[in-house]
Amino acid sequence: MAVETVFLLPGQGGYTPGNLAGDDSPDVREVLDAADRVAAEFGREGVSHLMTNADAPSAADLMRSDSFALQLAVFTSAVAGFRIAERQGGPDVVVGHSMGEIAALTVAGAFSLTDGARLVCHRSEALLAHCPSNGGMVALELPAGRTAHLVGAVADRGLAVAVSNAPRQTVVSGPDEAIGTIARLAGAMGVRATRLNAPFPFHSPMLALAAHAFGEAVTGIRQRPLRRAVYSPVAGGYVHDDSDLRALIARQLTAPVRFTAAIRQLHADGAQHFVECGRAGLSGLVGRTVPDVSTAHTVRVRGTDSTPAPTLDETVPAEPARTAEVTPAATPAPVGVDVLDELRELYASTLGYPVEVITGDADLEADLGIDSLKRAEMLGKVSAQFGLGEAALGGRFLAQPTLADLADLIATTQASTR
């Protein structure tokens, strides 16, 4: 099939506090209200406040205290992001990354909005009830093939290549002890290994019981005819009305996500524009995977309501993956929140980290291993991106311990120079 524009729906990393703040549009409100209603069905507090309040708990906080709310917030953010992106034109194909497949199938019509949220809630309950507590995930700066050899060398049946994100970014999932061995082996090879803030060891054999329980719980949810084309990185191709999509998303808990292969295939099919429905770093992964494409992501408006929204073709196709912003016509959110989002993506893309690792409260040195020399180097990039000029030369910028602190200082500096 002919493909030009692809919408990407994020999984983990797709939620940040207040990421929908200021957007009071009916299409986004419908998504938030549906999520709250379904949360109540499961005896849980609603999640809309997480996305409309910039002071809401971070993803890292929710991972520790309420993974159920985190998963539902990720789904809600992705579906709302799709509706924001769609205002400037719809896609030829939608692709979900990891849990984002449920959101992708929902916006494509395979499940109603309410049933999509129910699928996420049943998935969360199955994970909470059946997932072992001794598992995790680690990202490696290695191609999937070499990572598979490393996993084979460790020879732990619970260990698996979980996600191929980009040509040189692969995620391994499994038991804590085996994950630690993988990290040590990678270090001995001179390969960066980063433990992810993931609530469960997704896409590994450790989730087999949870996958079975999830599949049993959702047999009564109705699958509907697709209204849009969906490419599944887990199925390795397009899904169809005769595909058992409930079985697919249950199997996804233990199956690998071949995101790199999906992007390459869509590019081969003609895709030139990739729009991330949110801002979790997927657009950056596309840029590291295929050349001569444009990427965009949905973000909140900064400045005033009259700020023009760039078109999807703003990126020059001859330049690999320069990122544009698809902006909703809404009341602007606090500047510092937008700055933090930009900092997370800048640090992730420059340092080769998955964006979900770069949380606002992570200590730059203790948690991320960014020493003073690397921080000074990154500060040059920060100054250029935010137009700080000589204001960034002071030691205050270098001394900020977290990205949240740095974002607040940047926002304050920008406000004082207006």
CATH number at residue 406: 1.10.1200
Q: Which tokens sit at 319?
A: 């330049």
Q: Which tokens sit at 16?
A: 């940040």
Same domain, 118 and 141: no
- Tell me whether residue 340 is in a domain: no
pLDDT at 352: 63
Same domain, 237 and 325: yes
pLDDT at 317: 28
pTM for this model (two decimals):
0.79
pLDDT at 311: 28
Same domain, 96 and 235: yes
Same domain, 118 and 159: no
String of b and e for 231-266 (b: at least 16 CB within 10 Å)?
bbbbbeeebeeebebbebbbebbbbbbbbbebbebb
User: If residue 386 lies in a helix (H) or strand (E), which one and from where to where?
Assistant: helix 372-386
Domain range enclosing 163 = 135-199
- Tell me whether residue 75 is in a domain: yes
CATH number at residue 173: 3.30.70.250
String of b and e for 344-372 (b: at least 16 CB within 10 Å)?
bbbbbbebbbbbbbbbbebebeebbebee
Same domain, 372 and 255: no
pLDDT at 343: 85
Same domain, 235 and 318: yes
- Rounded Cα gap, residues 199 and 11, in angstroms: 13
- Tell me whether residue 369 is in a domain: yes
- Tell me whether residue 86 is in a domain: yes
Q: Which tokens sit at 60?
A: 């890292």
pLDDT at 252: 95
Same domain, 120 and 257: yes
- Tell me whether residue 347 is in a domain: no
Q: Which tokens sit at 338?
A: 């937008």
Domain count, the chain: 3
Low pLDDT (below 50) residues in the chain: 301-325, 327-337
- Rounded Cα gap, residues 201 and 156, in angstroms: 14
Question: CB neighbours (10 Å) of residue 181?
Answer: 18
Same domain, 63 and 122: yes
CA distances from 137 to 66, 131, 194, 315, 357 (A): 19, 14, 9, 34, 11
Same domain, 23 and 66: yes
